[in-house]
Amino acid sequence: MTNEQEIRLQGRRVLVTGSARGLGAAFARALADAGAQVVVSDVLHERGQALAVELGAQAHYVPMDLSDAASIRAGVDQAAAAMGGLDGLINNAAITNSGGKTMDQLEADMWDRVMGVNVRGTWQATVAAAPHLAASGSGRVVNLASDTALWGAPRLMAYIASKGAVIAMTRGMARELGAQGITVNAIAPGLTLVEATEYVPAERHDYYLKGRAVQRPQVPQDVTAAALFLMTRASGFITGQLLPVNGGFVMN
């Protein structure tokens, strides 16, 4: 029995941004396995549609571009309409773009693109989802941060700055949305074995492996179980928190 199968989410309706592949797809599969309805959203339309078909009748695909405010608003509203409401939002979509570059090598437009998707997109998706989540009576938001922002990973400046902003926004969102019964928390995964990290040099993977208290590679299931718990009604008194999920590489 996997960790996800120990958490049941029957009747919960969850939107996952950037979920056509990688960790986002793992969230979508885990939610479906736990009994939730799920909307897969992405700019990778063919892959997103294929995943929704794979997950069956409880899944839907909605196109959404986190760099476009109109696309975000339309996508959130479509997701809520497809499921008859919205109980949860996992703000997973993000771009890296700055990987391997020192901070003096970054271009301003690259910095702006990363911030536009990872920070502004997360904020706008949450704003768009808030009325639907409030109507649910037990709305849940999980923001994907990164432990790179906690230990200051080098040659990743735009990305770690964006994820640091996500951590700060999580606390502000929790304060603003708490009165509506909406909780907002963040998860900071370590270096996880997914498509998006295939570019990471072997020495960085080795650095993580040796620095973890639990010395094994991190896989998507390590992260999805934490997110699923934070989607449950039982997590309703946990908000504004950051949960590093990295095998003890970084400890709060």
Catalytic residues, by residue number, are: 159
Pick from 188, 194, 125, 198: nearest CA to 160: 188
Could you say which DSSP state residue 212 is in? -
**Please, are residues 204 and 162 in contact by the beta-carbon 8 Å criterion?**
no
Could you say which DSSP state residue 10 is in? T
User: Which residue has tokens 């990290």?
Assistant: 197
Four-point Cα dihedral 115, 89, 194, 158, nearest 10: 10
* Residues found in the chain: 252
User: Which residue has tokens 């270096």?
Assistant: 191
Beta bridge partners of 38: 14, 59
Q: How far apart are CA 187 and CA 194, in angstroms?
A: 16
**Please, are residues 19 and 42 in contact by the beta-carbon 8 Å criterion?**
yes
Q: Distance between alpha carbon 192 and the CA centroid of its chain, in Å?
A: 13
User: Which distant-in-sequence residues (6+ apart) come within 8 Å of 73 by Cβ?
Assistant: 124, 128
Single-letter code of the amino acid located at 56: G
